[in-house]
Chains A and B, each alone.
Chain A
Amino acid sequence: MPRPSAESVRAVERWSVPFSPKRSDEDIDRLLAIEPFSLIDERKFSGRVTLRGILKNDARIVKCEDGDILVREGDWGNSAFFVISGSVRVEIEPSGKGLPDEVLGRSKPKRKGLFQAIAQLWRNPSRPEVRDAASYQIDPRLGTRGGGDRTRIYLQDVSVVLDKYRTATIHAGQFFGELSALGRTPRTATVFAVGKAELLEIRWQGLRDLMRRDESLQRRIDMVFRERALESFLRDTPMFRHLSEEEMRRLVAEAQFQAYGQYDWAMPFKRLVQAGEAAGVEHEPLIEEEGHYPNGVLLVRSGLARLSQRYHHGHRTVGYLTAGHVYGFEELVEGWRSRASVPLKYSLRAIGNVGVVFIATPLIEAFVLKRSGPAGAGRRARPAAATSSPYTSRIEPDLVEFLVENRFVNGTATMLIDLDRCTRCDDCVRACAAAHDNNPRFLRHGPVHDHIMVANACMHCQDPVCMIECPTGAIHRDLHEGQVVINDQTCIGCGACAKNCPYDAIRMVEIRHASGGFMCDETTHAPIVKATKCDLCVDQWGGPACQRACPHDALVRMDMRKVQSLANWQNR
């Protein structure tokens, strides 16, 4: 029998897919001549990851025109920017009082009037995905440049914007956007170019490697992180709300930020799901291990983490933590009250990418436990622990395992269907279609555990990876109500969101005229494609039509961060 011949393929390496295909050595030389890159000691880089390699493969030069919007408040991004020449402005108005959504290329959530809502009965088109061509007339306040994936939204009258809104200048030689890129959190401000500017956009991986090897850069980013992000995060944490300014400063100075897991978890996870495999507990990065003695508490700042306990030869998932949850506090309190070391009851593992803030035991003792003595500490601990309790004893462990394994706990509006009550009447699908011009935006189908189905509908994730690569910011989170929505007017149909969504909840559709014919691009004559998904009926009265249409209380849009709500729903 002939031996099967081995087929050689080139293994994928870190820089097999560079950030930008257009890279010239002259550009790299020019970058290496300017600070801070000129100050970085190239000898600190070794092996395949070199400074030149990072600048060549993990970075790209972005040339901006006057008014180009570089990042928007609320966007999800995986890259930071360095201003090479020119300057950019960051808008510093309080959230909600800044540049209007329409100017930023976003749709302003407008609820339909009563007559408009009723008119859907006869106005909804009979053909799928019909659009009004007039709605694609560009808003006079909105400008677009470039084409395809490089389409950019720009502000048409920068001087008016500068007069009307408070801004701060970011000069050449400064970074911006590094905190949300490294911490996987939404952008906190909108940044736009004033005049011509040249920027270096660096992927988070490149920035991470630069930080590891350049202490001054690391110090700078660490300082910015502590000033801008860590303090506000700690102030929002219930157990530290009572601290004085001085105590808070000490806490901020001594807290440590740690990141675990794969930053780009979505694509590998999607591939695993498509191959019919799940990642499994043992493959997830261990943050803390059950049985170890805690030397502080961990506050989850971003991402999702799994709580598990050893069970015979495996691990049983008992719960999950999301942003705002605390790990290890209960054991510290128990130890404080009994004057003995209490080991950690659960292991903590990163699901995807997790950012945690570590607060050492002495700080917890000084600022939380000692304040009211052992008994008081217990009392103080309870409400905080109750609001952030991961202990999901009222939810079947198998269900928790299923939800965590499939990353459904990422959702803030996960569609759960209790099949023991669902009569498969499809009232939910019809209601969804009625609320979206006769186009249902979900499939009443999906993975089933016991009698709980997770239907194929956008979950409006806490970590919306779909938003990362949108070139125009068309897919965005509504800053007021939190839904992830797509602005049909600025969606260029590139499909980046659909490709990134780990749950295949976004569909690319070819749009039509009311007559039924496909709308085509006037230059390429190719059909125009748009991304579509559930928008939680943001423009309708009364919230998601699917949930309201279910006669048997079978369907619910569940915020998976609210573990108690999930437990109550399951144990109705």
Chain B
Amino acid sequence: MKTFDSRRRRNIRILAAVALLLIAADVILSVSLRAPHVLSGWILFSLVVLLALYNVRKKLPFLPLGSSSAWLQVHIYAGLLAVLLFVLHVRWRIPNGVFESILALLFVAVAASGIVGLIMSRIFARRLTTRGAEVIYERIPVFQRRLHLEVEQLVMSCLADAGSTALSHLYLARLKPFFEKPRNFWQHLMQSHRARHRLLVEIESHERYLNDAEKKAMREIADRVRAKDDLDYQYAHQASLKYWLFAHVPLTYALLVFIVFHVVLVYAFSGDLN
């Protein structure tokens, strides 16, 4: 079985060789006064179609079309090659027409979202095993609701037993908003513990106003705050891993449509292209 490292090295070598070949072809065509953008354009178009086909492969898991991981490897390196071809195709300039600018922006957005997605899938997956229990994304609201109910019951029991509202005030002001829905999305992605620390400090400092029964309840609430924070961490990372595709895939379809128009326009107004 090939290691990931050796696979990566092999793929980078292939990518570098193909990239050098393409650059050489571009240079040769340029100095021979041909139109290198025709070749780069068509190769780029083919590559974008190939890249988009990965989504089709995903929809046909029951056909022997090769493993998804092999497709993803092709997708990643063909995507990087497409970036190089794009740069060659636009001759290192920013397009000036409205249509061409939108097309270029779409390409940049698709490429950027792909690279961000790749980085996330490599980093976030590893992070998910380091904090909190393994939880299925769709079940997160259930666990969140359960924790909220438990905290609510602890607060209510103190209200009835101790007759004090110190805990309930804290609950309404700080805990209820925290337990109601996922919180600190970006902070979790940035690996920041600040929000969790601040809330736990607040809880600790509030203890001086509580009687023994309330203190006991408060310690249990602190445990739930930690559990909810871990759940939020899972939510932030799993949601990011799921939803980046909602940008990448529609943008790809939009790009394909624009490319087709681009090709039609180019051939419609290119009397001397050939």
Contact = CB atoms under 8 A, between A and B. Distances in A.
Interface of A: 112, 114, 117-118, 120-121, 419-425, 427, 430-431, 434-435, 444-445, 448, 450-451, 453, 537, 540-542, 545, 547-554, 565, 568-569, 571-572
B141 interface: no
Contacts of B128: 419, 424
A420 B126 contact: yes
Contacts of B71: 551
B68 interface: yes
B1 A565 contact: yes
Nearest to A452: B129
A509 B121 CA distance: 35
A232 B58 CA distance: 46
A569 B2 CA distance: 9
A430 B61 contact: yes
Contacts of B63: 114, 117-118, 541-542
Give the one of A434, A451, A548 with max B CB within 10 A: A548
Given A434-B61, A547-B67, A419 B242 contact: no
B3 A550 contact: no
Contacts of A444: 136
Nearest to B3: A572
A558 B72 CA distance: 22
13 contacts: A121-B60, A420-B129, A423-B121, A423-B241, A424-B125, A424-B242, A427-B68, A431-B62, A444-B136, A540-B62, A541-B64, A551-B72, A572-B2
B125 A552 contact: yes
A552 B120 CA distance: 12
Contacts of B1: 565, 568-569, 572
Nearest to A571: B3
User: Across chains A and B, which 6 residue pairs bring their CB atoms closest together, nearest first?
Assistant: A431-B61, A542-B64, A541-B64, A568-B1, A551-B72, A551-B68
Given A423-B125, A425-B242, A445-B134, A552 B72 contact: yes
Contacts of B134: 419, 445, 448, 453
B242 A434 contact: no
Given A117-B63, A419-B125, A424 B238 contact: yes
A267 B250 CA distance: 51
Contact of B61 (A421, A424, A435): A435
Contacts, number: 91
Interface residues of B, number: 31
Given A541-B64, A545-B61, A549-B68, A419 B129 contact: yes
A551 B69 contact: yes
Interface string B123-135: 0111011000010
Q: Is chain A's binding surface mostly helix, strand, loop or mixed? A: loop
B125 A421 contact: yes
A398 to B, nearest CB: 15
Nearest to B54: A551
Interface centre among B3, B121, B129, B242 (most CB of A within 10 A): B129
A444 B137 CA distance: 11
A422 B134 CA distance: 12
Given A423-B125, A571-B3, A572-B4, A445 B61 contact: no
B125 A541 contact: no
Contacts of A565: 1
Interface string B38-70: 000000000000000000001111111111110
Contacts of B129: 419-420, 448, 450-451
A434 B66 CA distance: 16
Interface in B101-144: 120-121, 124-126, 128-129, 134, 136-137
A552 B134 CA distance: 18
A114 B62 CA distance: 10
B74 to A, nearest CB: 11
Given A118-B63, A434-B62, A423 B124 contact: yes
Interface in B127-178: 128-129, 134, 136-137
A116 B242 CA distance: 31
Most buried by A among B1, B62, B128: B62
A422 B125 contact: yes
A421 B68 CA distance: 14
Contacts of B58: 427, 549
Contacts of A427: 58, 61, 68
A109 B62 CA distance: 16
Contacts of B126: 420, 451
Given A118-B60, A541-B62, A550 B68 contact: yes
Nearest to A120: B62
Contacts of A550: 67-69
A451 B134 CA distance: 10
Of A421, A423, A554, the most chain B CB neighbours within 10 A belong to A423
A117 B60 CA distance: 9
A568 to B, nearest CB: 4
B61 A549 contact: yes
Given A419-B125, A545-B61, A552-B72, A424 B137 contact: yes
B50 to A, nearest CB: 16
Nearest to A443: B136
Most chain B beta carbons < 10 A, residue from A120, A550, A572: A572
A425 B4 contact: no
A553 B76 CA distance: 14
Contacts of B68: 427, 548-551
A308 B124 CA distance: 36
A552 B128 CA distance: 15
A121 B4 CA distance: 33
Nearest to B240: A423
A549 B70 CA distance: 10
A420 B125 contact: yes
B241 A425 contact: yes
Given A420-B125, A424-B241, A572-B1, A548 B67 contact: yes
Contacts of A540: 62
Nearest to A446: B134
Nearest to B67: A548
A557 B19 CA distance: 36
A483 B241 CA distance: 34
Contacts of A423: 120-121, 124-125, 241
B246 to A, nearest CB: 12
Given A554-B125, A565-B1, 9 more contacts: A419-B129, A423-B125, A424-B241, A427-B68, A547-B67, A548-B66, A552-B69, A552-B125, A572-B1
A229 B125 CA distance: 49
Contacts of A118: 60, 63
B77 to A, nearest CB: 14
